Structure 1
Amino acid sequence: MAKYTPLSVQNELTSRIHGYHQQASEAKKDYYAKRDAILNDSRLSAEAKDEDAAKLLAQTVGKLASILEDQKRYVDGLKSSLEKELRGSLPQDANSIMLRRDAAQRARQVTDERDALAILQDAVRTGDETMAHAIGIKARNTGWFDVAEAWQQAHPDTAGLAEALAFVEDATSGGAYNLANGAAYSSPAA
């Protein structure tokens, strides 16, 4: 049974991204509160206030960068985990590794979606799981949806993982994601 389901991945990703953005929001709130305290401190000269505020801004920018880096590590780790589970447990003997490498090389040489679909159908029909897998990965990475769907139909146990991985890739690469990150991790006003 798969460790991940599309719904569990969607819920986890959404929650974690929200959590990172919330940490960034709290860092900015903390910055503004401390900045106000610095600027309202009558014991400090104007020059000292400017220096302290600049140091605080630099610390906050560093904290925001650190939170963003944590978010990127989480997303990359999730993608890696899903890809690893999608690949399954692969034999590590020399012959199996050579077969996978040769199949991957042949799959890289395929440049047409129709050819890829024909090769995939032949591989599934003849039981060549190594070639089927290589073409399936190539199709997913290239955006050949019909081929990727055919591979998933031939391997229904991986359909949920492929859907979960597609969700993560879509949710973390679009304009809305970049805009939300830009707003969350932008430098606070000095």
Structure 2
Amino acid sequence: MASSLTASSPASGATERRGIPGAQFVEDVQTYLTQSGFDVNSALAFLQERLQQYKLVEMKLLAQQRDLQAKIPDIEKCLDIVATLQAKKGTGEAVIADFEVSEGIYSQARIEETGSVCLWLGANVMLDYSSDEANDLLKKNLDNAKASLEVLITDLQFLRDQVTITQVTIARVYNWDVHQRRTRQASASTAQD
């Protein structure tokens, strides 16, 4: 999932979640630079690169989240349709349904009592299932989609935390560098006087 984040980090002790490396909160910039072997510019470049990698992974996870959020209502609609067909089973009553023929084009169908349901599996594949099998498959797919969505939401929260930590670290390194430069300038001007 996060193959672009595999570069080694000077952050020791940072956590990781599902291939997403954790960001290290830097309390003491001087110690961080010494331990990592970076100078200020290298550290800022590394942190900026890591931040961009986090943003890229976040975009991918948000796209997956949108896809799942669109998929779940579709599965629930299919479950409702199967339940309606099962409820009408044995009553001799037909079901009148509108279905989409093409994008924005609908037609009406009269569905006589049937013991099977055809489900699109993707990649232009449709299979015929008994009503009970279709119901079980759809419930399993719904449970899997909801579980995947929960994991994605947790991953996104972890990722947002890492982005925040990285942004704070960038600010701390930059501010430390500005402070060091001012201190050196003040020392140099005092020495000249």
Q: Same fold (TM over 0.5)?
A: no
Q: Whose strand proportion is higher, 1 or 2?
A: 2
Structure with the greater alpha carbon radius of gyration: 2
Relative contact order higher in (CA < 8 Å, ≥ 6 apart): 1
TM-score by length of 1: 0.35
